[in-house]
Chain A
């Protein structure tokens, strides 16, 4: 029999419903898997006692006939979500010892739906990164390896610990956050489904802020169905987040009917970037064939401002980060490094508490917002952002969804691409436009490259039309039949 920790969310749900096993059985299997996966460094904090308590409560609810959408399902939580009474670090030294006295709205929604918390996952510091190598708590290893090679690879980032935990079959699902691709890119690197919902679909309340106009929470799972199940539980209107949107949350799972006949799928010519490996071109062509075979029509479209998305992002995101991270001053929580005056204390605390990438971005943000440069950089980027959104708005007059690759490469080795920040930033070239324009995007594992590493395809949908996006993603998933497993699976 398959190990319980290797079941998907939907399989676990079905087994629980039939009484084949209990939430406690599932939690115990995942706790054992979490222990055996420690070499990956996917977790900053493990919460096995809490998992067992929550599982017992879940079994009791089920016995009374009160099962929620995710009743009894163990989940890993990115350490960017505040969890009441559990250390929350954002993978930064500056949040040393921070134990939130409150729960983020997204995690509260998950617990209300019956889910069980396994622990808090590692990530790039303050979600700034694409390789999970900027964490104060150390690098995360991708459970996948190149064929015939034992060099550890990055899991992608910033939700790298969440992706590694799901890929290694520790948990069937995990939360992530996506500011420029931080769910979709690690999803692609780890052979998972990673979804960024429409901006405003999930509440940002209680999620440590990076760039508030871009940040959005979403799920990392092994299947499209599981992604739909998790989003249904995570999404809500929240008066505590003025940018969350008051719309009913549909039953996303019901959208997975495979019916895409007659849908129009846009293929943007600007996503053929120079130097992109032929293998990625090839899976993109496969994706087109799969959707055509299911009856969808492919339409060539143009998103002319695509090449300006990354540079605009690297103004907007650092600008917002420099403002959001001003709160870490050593006074109210986290690390304090003493100084003779308050200013010296702030400078010492922030100098020691932030890692190199975070300092770089806070300083870039400070610069582009400073007097004399605000208009040339920040306002310029906001204008470019309006043009990027206009590209998509015009495209969606002609098409129902857009198909692109998720990332311009497969996972790379830890330590590669660290010499130049810009080469690292280029990881997000296909994912950033959806953040700048607030649109939902999902990465689906499509194939393995010649080295045996997973590659992903991305579907971008209309704002608040996650259902069409998921429907298309489900067809891709079925056609791809991706069933490869990583080199490391917990407990094997």
Chain B
């Protein structure tokens, strides 16, 4: 399943990564190399094999539905590139 430059542009959009037009060509080639290589999995008959969900058998443990953390707004905001009035500031979403 080879991809073209337009598909690369679409994937970049989905992944929210800006890829300059000039780099998209090279990336298309690399992408197709990698996809071509992983497609060897197609040789394997996996009919009836359950996809692995967890590598170790862990029974999820239940805990009380209680607040165990929080009340640390300043700590949470300490790393924000643009904190404002106790919130994260982002570019305008609605006009």
Given A242-B60, A336-B82, A367-B3, the answer on whether A351 and B50 have CB atoms closer than 8 Å is no
Question: For the complex, is A438 an interface residue (Cβ under 8 Å from B)?
Answer: yes
Task: Decide: A243 near B56, CB < 8 A? Known: A101-B78, A314-B38.
Answer: yes
User: Which of A6-14, A380-388, A482-490 is the interface stretch?
Assistant: A380-388
B91 and A389 contact, CB distance less than 8 A: no
- Contacting pair A339 B91 (CB below 8 A): yes
* A332 within 8 A of partner (CB): yes
Interface residue A342 (Cβ < 8 Å from any Cβ of B): yes
Report the bound CA distance from A343 to B76 in whole Å: 23
Residues of B within 8 A of A (CB-CB), count: 52
Chain B residues positioned under 8 Å from A463 (CB to CB): 56
Q: Which of B19, B20, B27, B51 has the most CB atoms of chain A within a 10 A radius of its CB?
A: B51
B90 within 8 A of A: yes
- Does A438 contact B18, Cβ atoms closer than 8 Å? no
Question: Would you call A363 and B63 a contact (CB within 8 A)?
Answer: no
A97 CA / B80 CA spacing, docked (Å):
10
* Chain A residues with a Cβ closer than 8 Å to the other chain, count: 73
Distance in Å from the Cβ of A318 to the closest Cβ of chain B?
9
Of chain A, the residue at the smallest CB distance from B33 is: A422
Q: CA separation between A239 and B61, bound complex, in Å?
A: 9
Q: Are B15 and A363 in contact (CB under 8 A)?
A: yes
Taking CB as reference atom, which chain B residue is nearest A350? B17
Which residues of chain A (231-287) have a CB below 8 Å from chain B? 239, 242-243, 245-246
Contacts known (A97-B79, A336-B81, A359-B19); A364 close to B41, Cβ less than 8 A: no
A322 close to B (CB within 8 Å)? yes
Contacts of B55 in A (CB 8 A): 199, 213, 385, 389, 436-438
Which residues of chain B are within 8 angstroms of A340 by Cβ–Cβ distance? 91
Could you say which residues of chain A place their CB within 8 Å of the CB of B14? 366, 370
- Beyond contacts A200-B58, A333-B80, A335-B81: 9 other A-B pairs, Cβ-Cβ < 8 A, are A198-B56, A242-B61, A243-B54, A314-B37, A350-B16, A364-B31, A377-B38, A384-B44, A386-B51
25 residue pairs A–B, Cβ–Cβ below 8 Å: A99-B79, A101-B72, A200-B56, A242-B61, A246-B61, A305-B44, A331-B80, A332-B88, A343-B16, A346-B16, A347-B13, A347-B18, A348-B18, A354-B17, A360-B27, A362-B15, A363-B31, A364-B34, A370-B14, A383-B46, A386-B50, A386-B52, A420-B33, A437-B55, A438-B56
